[in-house]
């Protein structure tokens, strides 16, 4: 704990023992498409307020098995703003200023309340509307990947160091199936690559796309020899 380098903020760090019985939920792998909730609370002692003020952050978490591999190059910073309402009360001396906490809300909580108040009425309460519709053709099923489809050029996808957990989970399931049968590419591979390969997985994905599992030994030997060669730079 202590002031930051620029002196504009105060840094607080918290550590816990993951083997403690009360954290057993955080050591249990969560099933697919499910999350667990974590609550982090910080009690701050503020001059003029008799009781410590508790700031609470609630977040969702997904617990992966110990064998899961991740390659994160950066961490996404989370920012939260709080609105603290105080009421001045009388102290033991005329010059003493004391305050009472009336409310403490996070900006995220305030935004959720505003959003719920602006929700449209349910269909049961909405007045009936008479509309004239014409028959529409049925939506065609998603076409299977065509072997003659336009090839995906290297570097045409977006690259982001930050990736949502659901996207990583989809890639993880696809890669698990691919490893079981390296001779056949999964059907959803083409569509996922169109949206961009997450940077955390690019190393493994491009090795599989290049077929390193088929001639990896020879390829590594060629690479070992090539990096010892003299590089010539041509200027035009």
Closest to 216 (Cα-Cα) out of 178, 224, 67, 198: 224
Q: What share of the chain is helix, strand, coil (3-state, %, to 5)?
A: 30, 20, 55
Asked whether residue 125 is domain-assigned, the answer is: no
Which helix or strand (DSSP H or E) is residue 210 part of? Answer: helix 202-210
Residue-number span of the structural domain to which 75 is assigned: 2-115
Are 171 and 106 within one domain? no
* pLDDT tens-digit readout, 96-131: 889 999 999 988 888 888 887 776 654 544 444 444
Tell me: do 12 and 107 sit in the same domain: yes
Alpha-carbon distance values, 139 to 95, 136, 142, 143 (Å) = 75, 9, 9, 11
Structural domain includes residue 140? no
At residue 84, φ and ψ (nearest 5 deg) are -110, 120
d(CA 68, CA 59) in angstroms, rounded, equals: 21
Report which of residues 137 and 107 the model is more confident about.
107
Q: Does 109 lie in the same domain as 7?
A: yes
Q: Are 22 and 100 found together in one domain?
A: yes
Mark whether 107 and 30 lie in a shared domain: yes
DSSP string, 161-205: S---HHHHHHHHHHHHHHHH-TTS--TTHHHHHHT---GGGHHHH
The answer on 101 and 41 residing in a single domain is yes
56 inside domain:
yes
DSSP strands (E only) in the chain? 2-3, 10-11, 36-44, 53-61, 82-90, 97-106
- Whichever domain contains 179, its CATH number is 1.10.10.750
> Region 203-211: what's the mean pLDDT?
77
Q: Estimate the crossing angle of helix 202-210 against helix 165-180, to 10 degrees.
A: 30
| pTM score | 0.45
Residues 109 and 182 in one domain: no
The verdict on residue 189 lying in a domain is: yes
Q: Is residue 210 part of a domain?
A: yes
Tell whether 95 and 195 lie within a shared domain.
no
State the pairing for strand pair 97-106/10-11.
Answer: unpaired
Helices 212-226 and 202-210, packing angle to 10 deg:
100
For residue range 32-88, what is the model confidence (pLDDT) as tens digits?
878 888 888 889 898 899 889 999 888 888 888 878 776 655 566 778 889 999 999
Q: Which of 98, 115, 132 is the last residue of a domain?
A: 115
Least confident segment among 69-78, 145-154, 199-208: 145-154
Evaluate whether residue 153 is within a structural domain. no
Is 10 found in the same domain as 107? yes
Q: Do 179 and 109 belong to one domain?
A: no
- Does any domain span residue 108? yes
- In whole angstroms, give the CA distance from residue 146 to residue 59: 42
- Residue 101 and residue 183 share a domain: no
> Do 205 and 110 share a domain, yes or no?
no
In a domain, 172, yes or no: yes
Q: How many domains does the chain have?
A: 2
d(CA 20, CA 65): 18
């Amino acid at each position: 704990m202590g002031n930051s380098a620029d002196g504009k903020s105060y840094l607080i760090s918290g550590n816990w023992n993951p083997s403690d019985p009360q954290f057993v939920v955080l050591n249990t792998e969560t099933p697919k498409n499910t999350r667990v909730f974590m609550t982090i609370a910080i009690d701050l002692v503020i001059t003029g307020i008799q009781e410590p003020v508790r700031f609470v952050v609630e977040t969702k978490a997904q617990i992966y098995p110990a064998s899961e591999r991740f390659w994160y190059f950066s961490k996404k910073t989370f920012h939260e703003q709080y609105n603290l309402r105080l009421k001045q009360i009388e102290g033991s001396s005329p010059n003493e200023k004391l305050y009472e906490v009336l409310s403490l809300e996070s900006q995220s909580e305030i935004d959720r309340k505003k959003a719920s108040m602006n929700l449209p009425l349910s269909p049961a309460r909405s007045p009936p509307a008479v509309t004239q519709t014409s028959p529409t053709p049925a939506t065609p099923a998603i076409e299977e990947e065509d072997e003659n489809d336009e090839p995906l050029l290297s570097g045409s996808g977006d690259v982001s160091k930050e990736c949502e957990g659901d996207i990583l989970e989809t890639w993880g399931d696809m890669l698990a199936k691919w490893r079981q049968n390296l001779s056949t590419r999964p059907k959803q591979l083409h569509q996922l690559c169109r949206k961009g390969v997450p940077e955390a997985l690019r190393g493994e994905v491009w090795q599989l796309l290049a077929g390193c599992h088929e001639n990896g030994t020879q390829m590594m030997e060629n690479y070992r020899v090539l990096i010892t060669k003299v590089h010539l730079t041509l200027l035009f």
